[in-house]
A = this chain, B = another copy of it.
């Protein structure tokens, strides 16, 4: 056991990140100000999404053999289908449609110092799938390769050059991460945070926010979009310095602060956690094979919509989109529309004075590497009406009945691919325990999440959102 170690002074880089978490920003002070900014913008911007049959989408064709939906350029994404065999699982076999988007897109946030504090350049952006069609706080750049190689025939993407040519710039985050493995086939995006010089200004539709402001805004429903959440979750945690900056005097906040400190005791060493992941990825027998989208077991296609016979899970639908204001245009596309609101929850518990998160080793058909670390609970509760009892997620009851709720906000998923996809994100204190060698669950600290987040495909997108929400509790 290495003795706790804390250098006497934090570096300039660390200071700036931590100040951005804990100092107030100079621009757009407070959630009220941000809401004014957004409502001012939404008076000039509108987006209209109307439903259409999958065979009525201009620019999209069906492959005559497989029934796969593709853009006529062969770019962007396609709707395909897979057969899944998961040996020994509660549901050991199923078929489903899945989105294939093989291009690695960029999710990039530009940062710069303003009055000595790091600010993030956030875009107020509409997407067709956003609940209520509203503006959400999005990364500076959110672009697929098709976007920026001109297939869109749209205007140039502002600030893209900072992320396409990062060499010579200060790069704070640069890591590929997965997205929803239940809906995407091996989708990966490059999560980036790059620092700009003082001469960079926010153009119309963009604003500078500190990490503290973004943390405060996380508790506003459907406001901070999924892509912003994943990028911010990948920022270096700041370790012991971040812990020192938390204004805690005992109780939950003290345990949370200690959780971010790599020198604080943890239930398992990080090497034990890595070995557990290796074991899970080796043990799990998952076979995912492409098959035709037509004639999928359990699914029907009617009136241009592909849906499950049960009405549960999700549907593949078509939409026509028209937008005015800053982003002008009209297009059509397929989208995934989930049935019902999901529950995504961390159960947390103080162990030896350090907050630990109960983490699930979860298998999804679209993961690049079989298993990723997921929230304690991640499910759409209503789906279990049509699934065997043994499939019912562990700890769902604990989450829903706990009276020690630290975070509870409905946030939405990427509105460019998902229509009205909302999840209730929860952080709940609990006294539950699991066996030390439970094959599926482990207690992790925030510092351990920080270490894993430097690498690809360990922490799933839902857990990344919750890591950010957990961290935000220190400043709100």
Contact = CB atoms under 8 A, between A and B. Distances in A.
Given A167-B437, A279-B166, A281-B176, A455 B1 contact: no
Interface in A409-467: 437, 454-456
Contact of A190 (B2, B282, B369, B437): B282
A233 to B, nearest CB: 16
Nearest to A1: B11
A3 interface: yes
A175 interface: yes
Contacts of A39: none
Given A175-B274, A282-B190, A437 B168 contact: yes
B275 A174 contact: yes
A146 to B, nearest CB: 14
Given A7-B3, A174-B279, A282-B176, A454 B167 contact: no
Most buried by B among A104, A274, A437: A274
A368 B272 CA distance: 24
A236 B270 CA distance: 13
Contacts of A161: none
A329 B236 CA distance: 55
Contacts of A57: none
Interface in A254-305: 271-272, 274-275, 278-279, 281-282
The size class of the interface chain A forms with chain B is: 20 to 34
Given A3-B7, A7-B5, A11-B1, A278 B176 contact: yes
Contacts of A454: 271, 274
A119 B275 CA distance: 22
A171 B276 CA distance: 11
Contacts of A104: 282
A41 to B, nearest CB: 32
Contacts of A278: 174-176, 190, 456
A368 B175 CA distance: 17
Nearest to A2: B7
Interface in A206-246: 236
Contacts of A272: 171
A279 B282 CA distance: 28
A7 B4 CA distance: 9
Contacts of A281: 176
A280 to B, nearest CB: 11
A11 B2 contact: yes
Interface string A1-16: 1110101100100000
Given A2-B11, A174-B274, A368-B369, 19 more contacts: A2-B7, A3-B7, A3-B8, A5-B7, A166-B275, A166-B279, A167-B437, A171-B271, A174-B271, A174-B279, A175-B274, A175-B275, A176-B278, A176-B282, A190-B278, A190-B282, A271-B454, A274-B454, A274-B455
13 contacts: A2-B11, A3-B8, A104-B282, A167-B437, A168-B437, A171-B272, A174-B274, A174-B275, A175-B278, A176-B278, A190-B278, A271-B454, A455-B455
4 closest Cβ pairs, A-B complex: A174-B275, A167-B437, A174-B278, A3-B7
